[in-house]
Amino acid sequence: MAESPAVAGDQPGPLEPRCRPTVEPVLFLGTAALSLQAPLCTQYLWDRLGAELGYNGTSHGSGSPGGCGGNGSGDPLQQEVETLVSHWNLYLNLAGFFVGLFSVTLFGPWSDSVGRRPVLILPAVGMALQAGIYLLVMYLRLHVGYFLLGRILCGLLGDYNLILAGCFAYVADISDRRSRTFRVAILEACLGLAGMLASIGGGQWRKAQGYIDPFWLVFAVSLATALYVAFCLPESVKEKKPAPLLTLRHYISIYRLYTQPGHQKARQKLALYSLAFFLLVAIHFGARDIYVLYELSSPLCWASDLIGYGSAAMYMAYLSSLAGLRALQLCLADTWVAELGLLSNVVGLVVISLAATTPLMFTGYGLLFLSMAATPVIRSKLSKLVDETEQGALFASVACVEGLCSLVATGVFNSLYPASLHFMKGFPFLFGAIVLLIPAALIGWVEIWDSTPEYAHFPETPAHVQEG
């Protein structure tokens, strides 16, 4: 593993002309499908499991369409529904993770040889299959356990994490080192824009027509993603070559990123940035998993339209973070932009943890305006630490980290949330804010460590090219 030379890395890729189709629509469509599906799935589980337990909110005097008992958070039946939904979210995430862990690490390094397009088509097809199975469950009133079958099939084809890995590797292929952070931030902004539109539309659509029609859109968008890649997206890998898929060599290539002899400083930075990325994304995933539950139940008692607006406000942070990153790059190094993003995240989560009213909840969302600035910085720094022929393996490992984030976050937050209902409902958000202090310390330490040789050893050592 070696950091790509500056000269080679600064050459524009074959797809640089702006008139050529590129990968942003793939991530936009895939994220739209996921963002439309995830909150609707949680609300469907809430209504379905609540009905099976004889709880629908209105029977307890609330009248809230979202289901919110008149006895507030002390209602034992409401707490039972919250706990059941939280646990089913855990089961679904576990199913997707354990299967996706092996498929992403297989397909990601494979794409370094055969190209990015195959590994972008497969997960889109998997998401369409998952949406189709969810529709069958809703049409036929099958047991919600069949949702697990959809998650497993989607995981076998790489799941959404493989779309992320393929898209970020694609951008690394076609961008130079100087512009890479901003190109990655544009991809992150696509996440936010797609999530925001899907959240607003999904909440209103669910309120007007129920669950089935929005899930048909999820199915159609997933298929559209696969068709766009198959017929419109140019290949970004310059020298494709045939390579076997079912081989341990792909897993070994990811292992070697962190263990290859030589370049010790680059390996250490790779490990530290990966740890910071893990903690940051785990908090993002964990908080996102319980936002809907937090808003559905008392004291907020939001209906589906407000839940949609809340999700849109959360996703707006991707767009505001892109604008903030671009502006702050004019006067600050990327590292310190990431630190400001982490500060925004901490403050927003603290306010949300105390939110008992709708205005305060939206204030918390507003304070998250720069919260997504840290992740593109870390992705870009990771990408610059490996060779251009290892981008697929790198982003496959990052996708595995994200899958592990989802597993850990879902396990921790979906277990912590019901356990903390009796003493502080917003405690999981406060917990997340405290954990985010760790990646802030790691990123700052790496930056200080990186800059030390320029001053401490300048008189004693000859000039040389600094790593990173």
Is the separation of the CB atoms in 237 and 173 below 8 Å?
yes
Report whether pLDDT(460) > 70: no
Residue at 256 is within a domain: no
Mean pLDDT of 303-328: 86
Q: Which of 373, 39, 103, 334 is nearest to 111 (CA)?
A: 103
Range scoring the smallest mean pLDDT among 51-55, 56-60, 127-131, 162-166: 56-60
Confidence (pLDDT) at 247:
78
Confidence (pLDDT) at 63:
38
At 236 the three-state DSSP class reads coil
Compute CA 241 distance to the chain's CA centroid, rounded to the nearest angstrom: 31
Is the separation of the CB atoms in 353 and 427 below 8 Å?
yes
Report whether pLDDT(457) > 70: no
Is the separation of the CB atoms in 342 and 444 below 8 Å?
no
Indicate the residue type of 345. N
Confidence (pLDDT) at 288:
85
Question: Based on the structure, what is the number of domains in the chain?
Answer: 1
Distance CA 237, CA 174 (A): 9
Range scoring the smallest mean pLDDT among 47-51, 145-149, 308-312: 308-312
Is the separation of the CB atoms in 418 and 133 below 8 Å?
no
**What is the domain-level CATH number for residue 98?**
1.20.1250.20
Report whether pLDDT(25) > 90: yes
Mean pLDDT of 129-151: 93
Mean pLDDT comparison of 98-107, 137-146, 243-252, highest-scoring range: 137-146
Residue at 378 is within a domain: yes
Distance CA 309, CA 203 (A): 8
Confidence (pLDDT) at 193:
86
More confident residue, 318 or 125: 125
Confidence (pLDDT) at 387:
82
What is the phi/psi pair of residue 423, to 5°?
Answer: -120, -35
| Cα dihedral 203, 206, 208, 212 sign | positive
More confident residue, 91 or 435: 435
Residue at 386 is within a domain: yes
Is the separation of the CB atoms in 446 and 336 below 8 Å?
no
Confidence (pLDDT) at 315:
80
Mean pLDDT of 17-28: 78
Range scoring the smallest mean pLDDT among 62-71, 161-170, 395-404: 62-71
Phi-psi region of 157 (alpha: psi -120 to 50; beta: other; left: phi over 0): alpha
Report whether pLDDT(138) > 70: yes
Range scoring the smallest mean pLDDT among 193-202, 352-361, 374-383, 457-466: 457-466
Distance CA 293, CA 78 (A): 11
| Segments in 329-435 forming alpha helices (H) | 334-353, 358-367, 374-383, 391-420, 427-435
Confidence (pLDDT) at 123:
94
Distance CA 435, CA 279 (A): 7
User: What's the half-sphere exposure (Cβ side, CA atoms, 13 Å) at 25?
Assistant: 15
Confidence (pLDDT) at 98:
84
Give tens-digit pLDDT for 363-419.
999 999 999 999 999 999 998 888 887 888 888 888 888 878 877 887 888 889 888
Q: Which of 52, 82, 57 is nearest to 70 (CA)?
A: 57
Q: Which of 443, 189, 467 is nearest to 336 (CA)?
A: 443
Q: Which of 282, 263, 281, 266 is nearest to 410 (CA)?
A: 282
At 143 the three-state DSSP class reads coil
The CA-atom distances, in angstroms, between 62 and each of 59, 294, 300 are: 7, 16, 12
The CA-atom distances, in angstroms, between 193 and each of 168, 189, 206, 285, 421 are: 17, 6, 20, 17, 32
Residue at 255 is within a domain: no
Give tens-digit pLDDT for 319-361.
899 999 999 989 988 999 999 999 999 999 999 999 989 999 9
Beta strands in 138-257 (DSSP E): none
Distance CA 411, CA 409 (A): 5
**Mean pLDDT for all residues in the chain:** 82
Report whether pLDDT(456) > 60: no
Mean pLDDT of 149-153: 93
Distance CA 257, CA 271 (A): 10
Report whether pLDDT(1) > 90: no
HEC sequence for 9-73:
HCCCCCCCCCCCCCCHHHHHHHHHHHHHHHHHHHHHHHHHHHHHCCCCCHHHCCCCCCCCCCCHH
Residue at 291 is within a domain: yes
Residue at 459 is within a domain: no
| Helix axes of 334-353 and 437-456: crossing angle, nearest 10 degrees | 160
Report whether pLDDT(66) > 50: no
Sequence-ordered list of residues with C-beta below 8 angstroms from that of 166, at least 6 positions apart, any chain: 23, 26, 108, 111, 116, 119, 120, 123, 395
Residue at 49 is within a domain: yes
Report whether pLDDT(463) > 70: no
Percent of the chain with pLDDT over 70: 87
More confident residue, 16 or 272: 272
Report whether pLDDT(64) > 60: no
Confidence (pLDDT) at 452:
63
Mean pLDDT of 24-52: 88
Is the separation of the CB atoms in 28 and 193 below 8 Å?
yes
More confident residue, 264 or 364: 364
Report whether pLDDT(313) > 60: yes
Report whether pLDDT(16) > 60: no
Residue at 381 is within a domain: yes
**Domain of residue 48, residue span:** 22-236+263-450
Distance CA 392, CA 164 (A): 11
Confidence (pLDDT) at 131:
94
Report whether pLDDT(231) > 90: yes
Burial 90-105 (b: 16+ CB within 10 A, else e): bbbbbbbbebbbebbb
Q: Which of 240, 217, 273 is nearest to 111 (CA)?
A: 240
Q: What is the dihedral of CA 436, 375, 326, 169, to 10 degrees?
A: 170
Please state the pTM of the whole predicted model: 0.75
Report whether pLDDT(458) > 50: no
Range scoring the smallest mean pLDDT among 36-45, 111-120, 455-464: 455-464
